[in-house]
Amino acid sequence: MAKRHAFILALLLLVALINSAMAWTIHPKMHIHMINNLWPAPTLNIHCKSKDDDLGEQALSPKQEFHWSFKDNIAGTTLFWCAMNWKDNDGKTQDQSFDVYNSSILCTTDCWWSARVDGIYFYDENQRNFVRQYVWNAPN
């Protein structure tokens, strides 16, 4: 009887391992790209993180990109968000915080975000164009 229980337990463990390995391969590696397209030439400060990972503060020069890659968790509930800010020509701080990746953001393997003077844009793969998603200093 003990051998049978051990066999069933080993079999269940094997099935669980195979399922988790298959689930891991279902989700492709995701790449997030944040680009400073502010003009004329201010520095864009970015701080991005998830529940598990703090990517640190980044200071991007014009046209500079910050990017990272990850695999979505098995449940498909990975969430990354960023806080951004910069100073305009009048010295006023422009800021915004928003989700850069979650299960409802539609991008295949690359999510492109562009910070511009009039707001933050997301590359819409269907329209093949950047579309403004957020304006500075506005609630989401």
pLDDT of 44-79, one tens digit each? 999 999 999 999 999 999 999 999 999 988 888 899
* pLDDT reported for residue 53: 95
Average pLDDT estimate for 80-90 = 96
Q: What is the pLDDT of residues 98-130, one digit of tens each?
A: 999 988 887 888 999 999 999 999 999 988 999
Q: How far is CA 87 from the centre of its chain?
A: 24
Question: 20-24 long-range contacts, Cβ below 8 Å, gap at least 24?
Answer: 20/74, 23/74, 24/71, 24/74
Average pLDDT estimate for 22-32 = 72
Domains of the chain: 28-134 (2.60.40)
Torsion angle in degrees (nearest 10) through CA of 90, 120, 79, 65: -80
Please say if the pLDDT value at position 12 is more than 90.
no
* pLDDT reported for residue 21: 44
